[in-house]
Structure 1
C-alpha cells in the first residue's frame, strides 16, 4: 500500500535547494523513524530508512552537479552512475552509516575527451563526497569512495580493473571483488551499472576457482555463539559485556549469502533479496530461507540499537549492542538467530569445500 505522506516528504527532499535543508530533513526524518521502532515492524522501518538515505544522497548529487555548473565546469560531459557499496549497496544502512561509493562514466571517443571526462568526474565526485559529509555521511575509512581515482573510472577502465582483480586474486583484490558485488546505482544512468555487473558475472564464470579465495575471506568473521549456545560477548575494557552485532552476527550472514548468491548467478545486492532468490533457485530449503530471513531481520533491527560515539563532530555507530540493551527478552531470539547464522556459515563452507575437493 502506498504511503502518500511519505512520498510527499521524499518529494520535498528531492526539491531541497541547500545542504542545510537536506541535513535538517535527515535529522527530522531519522528522529521520527527512531520513535517508530517502538511500535512498528523493524523491517518496514529499515526499508523506509534506506529510501530516505537514497533520496538524500541523490539530491546531494544533484546539488553537486549544479555547483559544478555554477563553478564553470558545465554539465556532466557523458552519462554516469553514482554507485553505493557496503550497507548502502545492500540497502541495509543504519542511522549512522558512512560513505562507500564509486562512480562509473561512459567511454570517451578520443584521448582528449578521456582526459576531460576524468577531470570532470573526479571533481564532481570530490564535490559529492564533500556535500555528503556536510549532511552527516562520513567517508569510508578504507577509502572505497568515489573521490578516490581508483573508484572513479570509465566503463572500459572499470572493465580492466575488474579483469585484473579476477586475474590476480590476492587477499586485497578478493576483498575488492566482494565489495563490488554489493554495488548498486543510486543516481544517474543505471544501464552503466548493469554493464559493470554483467562484466563482473561474466568474469566470475570464467574464474570458478576464485570462489575458494572468496570463501577464505568470507569466513574471516565468525558468528559470536559458543558451542553450548552461549553469547560470546566482549570480555574486557569499557565495552565489556557488549555484543558485536555488526561483525559477530550481521557481517557473517552478509558474507555467507553474498557468496551463495554469486555462485548461483544471482544479481541481487540486498541480503534479504538474495535469500529469497536462493530459495527460488533451489539453493535453500524453505525452512532454511525462513529461518535465515527471521535471523537476518533481527540482526538488521539490532544494528539500529548499537551504541554510537562522536568522532570529529560526527556521530559514528560502533556496531556493538551495550550490555544494558541486552535484555532477557532479547537473549532467546538472539541466540536462535546466531545459531542460524552459524549454520549458514557451515553450509557455505561445506558446499564450496566439496566443490574444490575438500581444500
Structure 2
C-alpha cells in the first residue's frame, strides 16, 4: 500500500465521529488491504495493517471516553493505558483478529477514590469493548478482555495479580503470564504501562523455578510435520485436507521465540523483533535468526489465507488454510519452515537446561 493510501485511511479513522462511522472506516481498511494481503503480502503490508488496527482501537477509545463523559461521569480520573495482548500485542493481527485486551490505571491513596476509579474504568472498558464489537472485533473466547474486571485493574491491583500468578504457577496462571508477556499499550499513558512491564520482567527473572512450567505450556502445540517430512493436514470433517497454520505452525513458533526472549530478558513483544534481539544478544546465531525470520514471515503470510467467517457483523478466521489454497509452490518452503519450527522447540528445551535468566 502506498503512503498516500495509508494516510487517507488514517485520516478516515481519525475523523470518525461515532462508532458507526468508525465501522465504515474499518470496512474501507479491509477493502483497501485485502487484495495485497491475500496475494501473500510483504512484511511492510502486515506492519501497515497493524498500524491501522491500532488507529481503529485508539479512535474507539476516544469515542468511548466522550460517551462516558456525555453520560455524566467526566474525564478519566487518573491516567490509564489500554493494553493489547495476543496477536495485537505482538503487532501480528490479521484482517480478522479478536479482542485480547486489558487496562491499567493509576493508583490513589483513598479507598473511596479507588472504588470510584474502578467503577469509571469498568464503564469505559465495557463501552469500548461494545464499540469494537460493532467494528467487527469479536471478544476473546478466553475472556482476556478489558470488560472483565480481572483484566481492568489499578497498577497496584495488577502487581498483586502478577505476584499471585507467579506464587501459584498452575497451568492457567502460567498461561496468563505468557499472555502478559505480549502486552503493550496501544493508547493512553505509556509510562504507566512501562511501570507494569518493569514489575513483570523483574518478577519473572527473579523466579527461575517457573521456567519449567512455562516450557510445558510453550510446547503443548506441536508442529504439523511428520517424521518423514509430510504435512499433517486435517483428516476429517469439512476441513479435510486443510492445514491448521495457526496452531500447527504460527503459535508454536510464537511460543518458542517468546520463551527464549523471556529467558534473556528481551522486552520486545513482536516475534520478528524478538528474533532480532536474540540475534543481537548472540542467543540465536546468524543462520538460526535468518531461518526463523524466513519461516515466521511465511507463517504470517499463510495466516492471511486462512478461512474466514462472518457472523453478526464480526469477522473471525479459522486459522486453517484450505487445501485448495495450498499450492504445489508452497509445499516445499512450508515444509522447510516447519522443520525450522521443530528445531526452535528443541533449542528452547536445551536452553532451559542452562537455567532461566541467562548465561
Q: Any stretches of 5+ residues in structure 1 without a counterpart?
A: none
**1:16 CA displacement:** 1.1
Q: Which residue of 1 aligns with 2:301?
A: 301
**1:73 CA displacement:** 0.7
Q: Which residue of 1 aligns with 2:27?
A: 27
**1:31 CA displacement:** 1.6
**1:41 CA displacement:** 4.2
Q: Which residue of 1 aligns with 2:261?
A: 261
Residues 235, 5 of structure 1: alpha-carbon distance in 2 compared, 3 angstrom cutoff: closer
Q: Deviations over 1:191-247 (max 9, x none)?
A: 111011100011012101111110000000011011111100001111110000000
Q: How does 1:1-359 map to 2 (within 5 A)?
A: 3-37=3-37, 41-355=41-355
Q: Deviations over 1:34-67 (max 9, x none)?
A: 1123668421111111011000000000000000
**Aligned residue pairs, count:** 356
SS in 1 for 2:237: coil
**1:5 CA displacement:** 4.2
Q: CA RMSD in A?
A: 1.5
Q: Any stretches of 5+ residues in structure 2 without a counterpart?
A: none
**1:313 CA displacement:** 4.3
Contact 2:225–2:339 at 8 Å: present in 1 too?
A: yes
> What is the rounded CA distance, in whole Å, between the counterparts of 2:312 and 2:34 in structure 1?
23
SS in 2 for 1:99: coil
Q: Deviations over 1:285-312 (max 9, x none)?
A: 0010001000000100110110012344
Contact 2:9–2:29 at 8 Å: present in 1 too?
A: no
Structure 1 length-normalised TM: 0.96
Task: Select between 27-36 and 50-59 the one with higher mean Cα deviation.
Answer: 27-36
User: Greater RCO between the two (CA within 8 Å, min separation 6)?
Assistant: 2
SS in 2 for 1:153: strand
> What is the rounded CA distance, in whole Å, between the counterparts of 2:22 and 2:72 in structure 1?
24
Q: Deviations over 1:319-338 (max 9, x none)?
A: 00001101001111111111
> What is the rounded CA distance, in whole Å, between the counterparts of 2:37 and 2:146 in structure 1?
32
